[in-house]
Chain A
């Protein structure tokens, strides 16, 4: 399975935009890019996913590089409730399970 690389941790000020990077240089043409986040002592929560084009939803935006070897999750205005571990995951077209790494721990300060 193709792997992803994320920074271990990032910090942001409240109400500022946050850009969470993910590198996936070995991505295949049919791999979807999924993002989940996990708050302490809770199950992961789906954030957004995409294949080739940039995607927006009520939670975040996903910017995908033209060569698809990297992507960026964008939180437009960070709140204290956005403090969580964010996972970038590649999901093959024929795959069922999600391959979670260690993710990026986002700290949001007032």
Chain B
């Protein structure tokens, strides 16, 4: 079945450590997105990519980095510069047209050790 796969489901980060969250889609979508969700809050956009080898910062990009070397993959790195990384991270993809929905993965929950 087509969909979005995020891994791992749970991730722990030590102080000063970079960690990378994986996001893969087999929907042949051009656009991919990373959102962050804090408890009791809505989703906030971190980065998005409309096409391979191109991406743009969202509202809260500081302390994060991404790459888009393949259409199917959009990994997110949470760097040591992100001082409050504990959150639920969600990846999504879409065709990119505003009249088409975004499809979300099941998320990665990141915590600090």
Q: Kindly state the separation between the CA atoms of A100 and B41 in the bound complex, as whole angstroms.
A: 9
Number of residues on chain A facing chain B (CB within 8 A): 26
Which residues of B have CB within 8 Å of A95? 98
Which of under 10, 10 to 19, 20 to 34, or 35 or more describes the interface residues of B? Answer: 20 to 34
- Taking the closest CB of chain B, its distance from the CB of A5, in whole angstroms, is 13
The number of inter-chain residue pairs (CB within 8 angstroms) is 61
One of A42, A49, A97, A103 near B48 (C-beta < 8 A): A97
In whole Å, how far is A3's beta carbon from the nearest beta carbon of chain B? 12
Nearest neighbor of B105 in chain A, beta-carbon distance: A43
> Chain B interface (Cβ within 8 Å of chain A)?
4, 31, 33, 35, 40-45, 48, 50, 58, 88, 90, 92, 94, 96, 98-99, 101-107, 109
Interface positions of A (Cβ within 8 A of B): 30, 32, 34, 36, 41-46, 49, 51, 87, 91-103
21 contacts between A and B (CB under 8 A): A32-B99, A36-B101, A42-B106, A42-B107, A43-B90, A43-B92, A44-B92, A44-B104, A49-B99, A51-B99, A91-B98, A92-B98, A96-B33, A96-B94, A97-B45, A97-B58, A98-B45, A100-B43, A101-B42, A102-B40, A103-B42
